[in-house]
Amino acid sequence: MRSHASVMHLDLDAFFAAVEQRDKPSLRGKPVIVGGVGLRGVVSTASYEARRFGVGSAMAMSEARRRCPHAAFLAGRFDAYRAASRIVMGLLRELSPLVEPLSLDEAFVDLAAGPERSLAEPDLLALAAGLRARLTEETGGLTASVGLGSSKFIAKVASELAKPDGVRLVAPGTEVATIAPLPARAIPGVGPATMDRLARLGVRTVADLQGLSEAELVRELGRSGGEHLHRLAFADDDRAIEPERETKSISVEDTFERDLSDPGVLAGIADRQATQVAQRLGRAGLFARTVTVKVRWPDFSSVTRSRTLDGATDRVEVVAQVARTLLDGLETSQGVRLLGVGVSGLVEVAQEPLFDLETTGSGRVVEEAEAPLTRRPSGWLPGADVWHRRHGAGWVWGSGLGRVTVRFETAESGPGPVRTFAVDDPELSPAADRDADDGGGGTDPHGE
């Protein structure tokens, strides 16, 4: 354990939804839900306004619509999210050479490895406050929650306690008392299956875990799981912060001579690809936090679905089961031209040895769609940026019955008017097409 709270965990607040609200003034202060918009889509991120209605990440989009029917349901704009993420990660790297990104919106920072600075509590809190203020300014209004602690586990707990838009420092020496009242699920790797076993021992909170001996936990969970859980219950976490590795991902893809639609055949191919991916992980001595499935349709449009696990794994059966679950959530009756399975978020240790097959349904799900090479009506995804020769920049409000409705506004313009066009209106085009025609020098609808 460190003697100073020099590990920082930063988590952008409701990131995807916040970017959409930033760039779409008419949605500010209103429920926004980002995710897959198909029949089997899942929620990637819900704004805090939508969370009040019980909408959360990894929820079926159909359930989100039932709970919050008046929300704006958007397909997501990953170019905008990546641009904002680059700004944030750049700010973190100014603080320290040791930055460990976990996703676009989350990272650990080793403040002890940066420029010489005071690690006294008031100075660390001032550093965090300055970072958050600068982040909000440079990203056009996004906010972040920041946790400071003596380990990665404690820093992440602190950022959760700071949500939303706050800072929390857990002083060295207070870690055990701080985590004691939290639910046992707050410990990495304690999912539903593990909680079922712990419940037999009367465990509900971390304090309950602290009251058990290591021998009792080993007897219930096995040696590695029991020892791991006992250590974390007493805030014993010495994991180092690992900068982004040269190897960022491992994947296997197959393009088929004829389109495949049989779910059983596709599941078998996904199993084989998952096995190859896991074998490559094993040979590299790596573990993965995120499993991804990519599907390309006959019209060359594609969708990528990924699940970030609660831990890191190299187990064939885990990668395969998550891949099958992600694939099962997609409608493949139209045929599949390409199928791929990949992993990312690579680390050198299995961060959560308690990871159990029964818990693979947990974790954040992200769905990213790519439009077909030739635009068609279904390519007008809700929330996508568009450009009209007379009206300028806007975004897709909705489409159907041969029409597309657009709200014309930008991050700087204030709420704008809504107009409807035919889907083949020659004056209307995806903003990306205009940017390409301009050589990347067109007006940036995100204000970035």
Question: How does pLDDT run across 364-406, given as a tens digit for each residue?
Answer: 677 776 655 443 334 589 999 999 999 999 999 998 889 999 9
Does residue 21 surpass a pLDDT of 50?
A: yes
Does residue 411 surpass a pLDDT of 60?
A: yes
106 among known catalytic residues: yes
Residue percentage of the chain with pLDDT more than 70 = 89
Does residue 407 surpass a pLDDT of 70?
A: yes
The overall average pLDDT reported for the chain is 87
Distance CA 301, CA 227 (A): 47
Using 50, 70 and 90 to split pLDDT, how confident is the model at 438? low
Distance CA 312, CA 294 (A): 20
Distance CA 287, CA 283 (A): 11
Burial class (CB in 10 A: 0-12, 13-18, 19+), 141: middle
Distance CA 71, CA 49 (A): 9
Q: How far is CA 382 from CA 20, 49, 360, 406, in A?
A: 11, 19, 29, 9
Distance CA 195, CA 439 (A): 54
**Active-site entry in 49, 106, 352, 367:** 106
What is the token pair recorded at 351?
């961060």
- Residue 245 is classified by DSSP as P
pLDDT of residue 222: 85
Distance CA 384, CA 398 (A): 10
Q: Say how many Å lie between the first and final Cα of the chain, rounded.
A: 40
Q: Could you tell me the pTM of the whole model?
A: 0.77
What is the token pair recorded at 350?
């299995």
